Amino acid sequence: MTTVAFRNSEILGRAALIACGIRPGKTESCASCAAKAEGLLRIAGTGALDALAAAICRSRVGGSCAECTAKATAILELAGAAE
Ligand SMILES: [Zn+2]
Ligand SMILES: [Zn+2]
């Protein structure tokens, strides 16, 4: 719990952007995704892909979808690279 690689604001920003949805020309996530990025990275640190996808999907209607699973995979890779 003391490993704080996620303090890196660049990693946080990238995680937020992934969760928000990467689009051409988009460089920042919305405030809501920025706020949950740290929590998402914490889940990513546990390696739980399903839980991560569910957490990303929670802000939307419906269950964890393929898009959010793809986002979760990207954030897992990001978190792994941060260590
Ligand atoms: Zn967003
Ligand atoms: Zn989804």
| Domain carrying residue 72 | 5-82
Ligand at shortest distance from the CA of 55 = 2
Q: How far is the CA of 49 from the centre of ligand 2 (A)?
A: 13
What per-residue confidence (pLDDT) applies to 1? 46
pLDDT in tens, 1-37: 445 554 578 899 999 999 999 999 999 999 999 999 9
Q: How far is the CA of 68 from the centre of ligand 1 (A)?
A: 12
Ligand at shortest distance from the CA of 40 = 1
Q: How far is the CA of 18 from the centre of ligand 1 (A)?
A: 9
Give me the phi and psi of 64, to 5 degrees please: -65, 120
pTM: predicted TM-score of the whole model, two decimal places: 0.81
Domain count, the chain: 1
